Structure 1
Amino acid sequence: MPDDKQSGKPELASEDGREREARRIAAVRRYDILGTPPDGAFDRIAALAGRLFDVPMATVTIVDTDRVWFKAAYGLEGATQTDRDASLSSSAILTDAPLVIPDTRHDALTRAHPMVTGPARIRFYAAAPITTADGHRLGAVDVRDTRPRRITPEQAAALTDLATLVMDQLELRLSALHMLRRQRELLQVARAARDRAEQDRARTAAFAAVLQSSLLPPALPHVPGLQAACHYTTASVHDIGGDFYDIFPLGAGRWAFCLGDVSGRGATAAALTSMIRHTLRSTALLESDPRTVLEILNKALLADPTAGVRLCTLVFGTLVPDPAGGFTITLTGGGHPPAYHLRPARRGLRPRAEPMQLSGGMLLGVLDGASVVSRTLRLAPGEALLLRSDGLTASRTSHGARFDEESLAAHLTHHAATSTATRAAAVIDDLAALLATFPVGPADDVALLALSATPLGAGGAPVGASGTTHTSGPRPQERA
């Protein structure tokens, strides 16, 4: 058996050590993170660590009493947890400083460790502890390689920054849980005369679904009669942007979707994005008017004057199935670039890509009482709706010209003209291929979300798969 120093457990004979460990485990339980489903925010952090250090393996771990659980694992397909004695993360939580072991075979702490002597054959290990504001080390962000190597002080500092970002996500998740509980209490008081017991059960299930979200959903849900597709291209693999999108159910056959862009980059933008998505998901379950949803979000962005600049452009929409086929869509905007309604040629009408302007909608997070604007459209079978962030129209083509709003409208119109039925997956594939032709990639992150209504069969039911696609792409210079 490894000694207590190697396994990261306080000495059994030390009462102080047992008390410290009990308080640390209580902190782990407080964040309610163990065993939760995959989360795009943490997956992106692990992947970013792997790319930043150019290593084959990176993880975000939480150290429990007798196990180390992987909240995210890059390069370790299928890995979910390991025994605490068999993980180097247990040693990484012993101090506040990063643990860096250039060659595990020549380090007294690791040369006899099963990760070094066993099938994994780890030769390099570095980790930064994930530390709470009150000093409890929950786990670590770590990188590992099968060959010895050294890192710079700047890289060690970057690893600490990633651990801090993980802690920010955990705090936001905990704050969202508290906020949802407060909203539930208020709703119970306001609707006490209604069928409270049934609504409480539905609301509890909906709140649980909200807590499983992240910066980007790992997959889009299946919506009957709808094809949905999305794409995300980052402007830099070494930084985190603030573009986001989401689709989620509202109940009674209704659905909601959104695409937005927050100010800034890095940990601050990621934390703000997570808060916005949690707020949208929770508020939309309680408020049927999309404008009210964005007004509440605006108040949330303005609520903490010490948080610095918290700005967001956003398009938020609701989907209601139309008995005649397709959907009725209500779009509500706050200062975001227009969506495009793509319609192929039919019944003598020319193909069109019409911008869905929401004139008068204001940037969120600037002014109390900011104006938000709504409009309604029908998405008929064979038509598509495209939402996108402004990174798409802030780039240069292979000819050096700017790909602006006029260029995008012309490109989408051509797509509609060459399609008998416009499908979401085809729209996204087309734009992703276009992005790949930009010689230096997009000037900013690009988020794309397309929705298309599937055609009706003879019996009036939607025909064809309603499947979804989810793709992402790097900048051109990073493909090689």
Structure 2
Amino acid sequence: MCETDDEAADEEGRASGRGRGRSEDHEEHEGNEEARFSELLEDSAEDLYEHAPCGYLSTLLDGRIAKINTTLLDWLGYERDALVGRKRFADLLTVGGRLYHETHFAPLLRMQGEINGIALELKAADGTRLPVMVTSTVKTGGDGQALLIRTTIFDARDRRAYENELLRARQEADRERDRLKVLNTTLQKTLLPPTLANVPGLDVAAHYHIASADEVGGDFYDLFPLAAGTWGMFLGDVCGKGAAAAAVTSVARYTLRAAAVYSPDPAAVLANLNTVLNHEYNGTDPRFCTVIFGLLTPDPDRGGFHITLASGGHPPAMLMRQDGTADYLPTPGGQLVGILPNANIATTTVHLAPGDTLLLHTDGLTEAHTAAGPDGRYSDEALLDFGRALAPTTATDAITAIRELLDTFGSVDDDTAVLAVHVPRTTSEEQQ
């Protein structure tokens, strides 16, 4: 059934009316949104100032407070009327802050026109202190004249708490480090003889240079009596540092003394130590050391002492003679002690005549950093030249000279032990 022309016209009019209504509603909605957004912007500008996440403050050039936001008032616990026009910015500072403000903050602000990120403390109404970070700028007029000072203040309480926690942690770390130093020093002393044995007819001296107070080193030495008329001495260096090295040092020191009592032959003594270390530390963390052991026996026929030396991978001993010459003593073989089940250890003998000095040392001395060495380190050759320039000398003078030498080095990475024995000359020998 077809619609009449009148009915069609009426329907078209109604459709047109509905279309105009939707358009007008949309335009009205957009107008309302724009009005609300405009009102929101106006409210936000004032709200942003009053309730910003930081404090805002405006002062006259003489420091009197002209304007202050609600955030800062809440932090300080003041009413607005109590501050505006009545107080100066400096009045809100602690005594120390006021002194800093007058001597540094205000003069710099006048000269530069701005000052940024200054740490101060504000005094709240209840007397508590509020740590803050302050930034101020000078507002000028069109003629360039200063009008007022605008200041932004950030709450630094969390930052201060963080800094205090860092300080507390650092102080605790320092105390822990001091305790560790005491422990390391105590442990180190237990690994060294409290005093060297007094050997009739010998001048004996030793020195231990600690590279770092934070770690226990692995160097060790000793001089002790054996059977009547014989003496044992040793000097060694355990690989590594710290508690693990200290444990090996303790085992090595007491094993050497015990083995020497059982059989004083130097090669046999080192063989016993090699067996103990190889059995004790043969797992995933092997431990070894270098060591030189000497047996000292008085020589009644020629005077002085007969010395037999055995070395397990250790730097050779130096003999400084009374005629002014000096050389290293050959110690062939010399495998590291503790590495292999059966170490190849050979011996050498020397006669220590009156006026002669024998020096034992660890490699911390010859590997110290110094500009004199060809590769930036001291060397065996440099030490030999040092000994030749020093000879003839005594044990005490030799150790003193080496201590002074160590003080001249830029860096000593490894602990250093030195042990010297000297046969003094008699009065009649010195006169000849």
Q: Same fold (TM over 0.5)?
A: yes
- 1:26-41 matches, within 5 Å, as none
Question: 3-state DSSP class of the match of 1:396?
Answer: coil
Match among 381, 385, 390 for residue 354 of structure 2: 381
Give me the whole-angstrom Cα distance separating, in 2, the residues matched to 1:254 and 1:260.
20
* Greater fraction of residues in helix: 2
Structure 1 position 156, deviation (Å): 7.6
Question: Equivalents in 2 of 1:164, 1:408: separation in Å?
Answer: 33
Structure 1 residues 23-42: Cα deviation after superposition (integer angstroms, max 9, x where no partner): xxxxxxxxxxxxxxxxxxxx
Residue pair 1:325, 1:455 contacting (<8 A) in 2 also: no
Match of 1:411 in 2: 386
Gaps of 5+ in 2: 1-167
Aligned match for 2:299, one of 311, 318, 322: 322
- Give the drift of 1:302: 1.2
Secondary structure of the residue that 1:403 maps to in structure 2?
coil
1:453 partnered with 2:428: no
The Cα shift of 1:402 comes to 2.3
| Matching residue's letter, 2:210 | T
Alignment of 1:444 with 2:386, yes or no, is no
Instruction: Tell me by how many angstroms 1:344 deviates.
Output: 3.1
Whether 1:243 and 2:219 are equivalent positions in the alignment is yes
Report how many residues are paired: 259
CA distance change for structure 1 residues 159 and 306 in 2, over 3 Å: closer, same or farther? farther
Offset of residue 457 of structure 1: 5.2
Q: Structure 1 405/165 Cα, relative in aligned 2: closer, same or farther at 3 Å?
A: closer
Structure 1 residues 166 and 445, CA gap change in structure 2 (3 angstroms): closer
* Cα displacement (A) at 1:239: 1.0
Taking a change above 3 Å as real, the CA distance of residues 230 and 162 of structure 1, as seen in their structure-2 partners, is closer
Q: Are the equivalent residues in 2 in contact too, given 1:393–1:408 (CA < 8 A)?
A: yes
> How far apart, CA to CA, are the structure 1 residues paired with 2:258 and 2:277?
15
What is the CA-CA distance between 1:354 and the residue it aligns to?
Answer: 0.9
Structure with greater contact order relative to length (CA < 8 Å, sep ≥ 6)? 1
Q: Which among 334, 337, 340 is matched to residue 364 of structure 1?
A: 337
Which structure 2 residues correspond to residues 192-341 of structure 1 after superposition, within 5 A?
Answer: 214-304=190-280, 305-306=282-283, 308-323=285-300, 324-341=302-319
Deviation at 1:253, TM superposition (A): 1.0
| Unaligned segments of structure 1, at least 5 residues | 1-148, 170-212, 346-350, 464-480
Check conservation: 2:218, 2:246, Cα contact below 8 A: yes
Measured in 2, the distance between the counterparts of 1:435 and 1:166 equals 20
Tell me, in whole angstroms, the C-alpha distance in 1 between the residues paired with 2:180 and 2:335.
33
CA distance change for structure 1 residues 243 and 150 in 2, over 3 Å: closer, same or farther? same
Root-mean-square deviation over aligned CA pairs: 2.9
CA contact (8 A) 2:321 2:356 kept: yes
Sequence identity (%): 42
**Quick check: which has more Rg, 1 or 2?**
2
Superposed displacement of residue 443, structure 1: 2.5
CA apart distance, 1:228: 0.5
Whole-angstrom CA distance in 1 between matches of 2:381 and 2:413: 17
Between the aligned partners of 2:169 and 2:265, the Cα distance in structure 1 is: 56
* Other-structure match for 1:344: 322
Distance 2:211 2:180 in 1: 20
Moved over 3 A (4+): 149-167, 398-401
Q: Distance in 2 between matches of 1:282 and 1:157?
A: 37
Give the letter for the 1:312 counterpart: C
